[in-house]
Structure 1
């Protein structure tokens, strides 16, 4: 195993909050592992512990065979870390930033150029431009190159696509697939549920606790009930009405539709619901069955965790 986490917990004192609660998982060599959850779920805290920037209160962890408490120097040389906030030197150029980080790790750009070349060629024409003057997508590529310049065994990417456009997000994930082919283990955190399907396995995390770990498809197949999408005129009023229906197990807004499931499934369930809604005056009702996505699974697990519904 390239990463092993056993019963890690972390509490902050000011303000007092339990950031991580008994976290355990493993990541295999060459695996692309996603940590999926909203802001404040504990993703950044976990990554900081695994890259030796924080010490856990409880539990133990190993990365690339090194203990996060005992082997700080060796572990830092074995990992690459790209924090959520752009943290390179704004007044240095692209090339100066890259050479600076190469020097920190006792290497050169040329020594590991084969690893970063597919990424670097996209920003090399602007190598003399200061980092602070780069677009979001170019900053992202530069930060990734700096995290890779010493050829790490494990790469940690903390919400790397936040704040960049859709095209840059797509390009970034294509880069990750290329790095994975080089044998690098990648742990990436993201609040974007659509990125979960691009990972080999994912851990859904909420309020410092892991709700489930599985392959994206495996997680979706575990969704416990048939799921439906429904829309009509007056979506806000429709949501209020649906939440008052005792026969429904879950109801929540989802883009242009509301997603819902029944406590007891029967062929007449949806027909009866639509008839009831028409009697209430809702018009242009449209309903169809759907496959549960990762976000549906996440909502289901959250409701199960806190004992709530609707």
Structure 2
């Protein structure tokens, strides 16, 4: 069972949160909504999980209409919101039992689904949820979202504020859940996580920029990117932005990602210009574009 959105519109007073959003998530797919804070990701999640009613448009989740069949959707989906929303004063085990009871099931009945995740937090089953680390809170929230064996799983920025090791573990868990036939819609502001999805929708200011596989989106990048380094990053960025042939300049780790307007770009021309600007230890070499480069290009 998948997800389908058709021309969804939602405004908060005069601010349009999402405008004419349409996409489909295939059954069993791991689909990513990729974009910065304020792009409209959470609004889309709240509409699909029947917590908000759209101003216009229609959507179905697991074959159910979000307006007419909202009760059926609530029984069929698991939702992990961006903020940790479990009961802080209840223990790990008490939270899990509570959510199982709400859905008329037990931990034992669906334990095989959460076993890989729960074994990591089981040693802390008597600890209050509010006292867990970020990574452990994340695993508990996912266990609670899965305890009723949902057909569709919604994860709204699940790895925000979590350490890199826990982020990696979390995505490994999602891949295992996908193999069990669960359709997964996940949102993230982290561009590196986009490459872990089957397909992605890049979203900015409430609108879809592009929908495709991560590989295809990167392949469509129209220019050659150069990694540029020098002794003074701030001065380097300023100088590149002022260069007469500049197309785009974005900081990227210890380098700057630079693209040039010209078809016949020569590295020596740029190196000579930067030397005149007083920069030293200059390095310029072509590099492969990534999702972040593609997003910045589409958002321009």
Tell me, which stretches of 5 or more residues in structure 1 are unaligned? 304-310
Tell me, which stretches of 5 or more residues in structure 2 are unaligned? none
**2:82 pairs with 1:84:** yes
SS at match of 2:4: strand
1:155-182 CA distances to partner (integer Å, 9 max, x unpaired)? 0000101111111111100100000000
1:47-85 CA distances to partner (integer Å, 9 max, x unpaired)? 000000000011000000001111010011111000010
1:131-163 CA distances to partner (integer Å, 9 max, x unpaired)? 111111111111000000010000000010111
Distance 1:298 1:39 in 2: 14
Maintained 8 Å contact 2:239/2:277? no
1:204-243 CA distances to partner (integer Å, 9 max, x unpaired)? 1111111011111111100001111101122211211111
Distance 1:281 1:136 in 2: 45
TM-fit CA distance, 1:37 = 0.7
SS at match of 1:173: helix
TM-fit CA distance, 1:276 = 1.7
Distance 1:279 1:86 in 2: 52
For residue 41 of structure 1, the aligned residue among 39, 42, 48 is: 39
SS at match of 1:211: strand
Distance 2:161 2:269 in 1: 44
Distance 1:178 1:245 in 2: 48
Quote the residue 2:5 is aligned against.
5
TM-fit CA distance, 1:255 = 1.6
Distance 1:278 1:89 in 2: 59
Quote the residue 1:57 is aligned against.
55
Distance 1:125 1:280 in 2: 59
Distance 1:164 1:280 in 2: 40
Matched positions, count: 300
The RMSD of aligned alpha carbons is 1.0
SS at match of 2:127: coil
Distance 2:210 2:230 in 1: 33
